[in-house]
Every structure is written in structure tokens, then in C-alpha cells.
Amino acid sequence: MSGLVKLPALLESARKSPFKLKILNLFLGRLIPFNRPHGVHILELGKEHIKTAAPYRRKNQNHIRGVHACCIATVAEFSSGLLLLSRLNPSRYRLIMAQLEIDYHYQAKSTIIAESRISEQQLKDEILKPLAETDKLLFTQTTEVHDDRQNHIASARVTWQIKRWDRVKTRV
């Protein structure tokens, strides 16, 4: 969890500086080692949106040289989760993916780009207000995945369990 403590400051500085965005991508490669070999990285980080990408390369391909379905799922999950972490304090709230549903529309044969959005109003109404009254909630975030040629590759719906850390019970 020590890496998560630094995350809010890194995310905020990465919104304003391309250099800090590079630092954040390096940090996330260490924090989430599963994504590193796939080259999953942030392209753009705004207050209400995020764009993440995975390059078209051999490690991300399936047997017919398209981007593998699991790579598409990974970049969509990463986009959705990181957007929520950028808006919620990761030292106060724990995110766990509860469900992932994906509709695949088109075979990707180039770099894929996932975009997730959440408005300030949606954050308040669907997450922060309910969390003030309950220990945990389920929130579904939609992420659209396109390739760098603007083909609509997939639509992902990631359902997150969001819980306050002070309500998390772990076994010893």
C-alpha cells in the first residue's frame, strides 16, 4: 500500500506535465508489474477522463495477429480503475474489480486506446454520497476501446467494489 500513498500526488502532477506523466507511467509499471510486458500506459489524464493505450506488438497479439481479447480487457480495466483512483483517495478507498463484461466489435490490428469518463456530478451522486451512508458499494464504469485508426474495438463495463479501508476486514 505504500506505493498507493504517493499515487494521488503523482496523478495530480501528471495532469499538468508531460514529464510527470512519463514518471507516472514508469511508477505504474513497477506498481502493476502484470501490465509492464504489455506496454499498457497512460496517454492523457484529465480531471474527468483518462486515455490509456497498449501497443500493437507480438506480446499483445493472438494467433491471427490481432490484439488479443485479454489485452483489450486489460487496457479497459486499467483505464477504468485508474480514473477512479485519480478521483478517490486510494489511502481511504479500496477498489476491487467485481465484474468485467466486454462486447467486442472489431478486430484490432494496431495500437488500442481505451477511454473512461466520470463527471463530477456522477462521482458525487453515485459514489461519494452512497459511501457516506454505507461501507461499500458497486459502481459500473463504461470504457470504450478504439484503435489508432478510430475503429470501435470494444465496449467494456467494469463493475468495481469500492470500500472504505477502515471497513476492510482481513484474516491474519
User: How many other C-beta atoms lie within 10 A of the C-beta of residue 41?
Assistant: 20
Assess if residue 17 is contained within a domain: yes
Domain boundaries, position 17 = 2-167
Pairing of strands 41-45, 93-104: unpaired
Question: If 0-12 CB within 10 Å is exposed, 13-18 middle and 19+ buried, where does residue 37 land?
Answer: exposed
Q: pTM for the whole thing?
A: 0.90
Helix (H) or strand (E) holding 79: helix 69-87
Assess if residue 97 is contained within a domain: yes
How many domains does the chain contain in total?
1
Find the angle CA(119)-CA(153)-CA(137) to the nearest 5 degrees: 40
Assess if residue 11 is contained within a domain: yes
Assess if residue 136 is contained within a domain: yes
Q: Over the stretch 48-76, which tens digit does the pLDDT of each residue have?
A: 999 999 999 999 999 999 999 999 999 99
How does DSSP assign 100-152, residue by residue? EEEEE-S---S-EEEEEE--HHHHIIIIIHHHHHSSEEEEEEEEEEEETT--E
Assess if residue 172 is contained within a domain: no
Strand pairing partners for 42?
52
Which residue stretches of the chain have pLDDT < 70?
1-5, 171-172
- Where residue 73 sits, what CATH number does that domain have? 3.10.129.10
Assess if residue 91 is contained within a domain: yes
Instruction: Determine the pLDDT at residue 164.
Output: 86
Assess if residue 47 is contained within a domain: yes
Assess if residue 43 is contained within a domain: yes
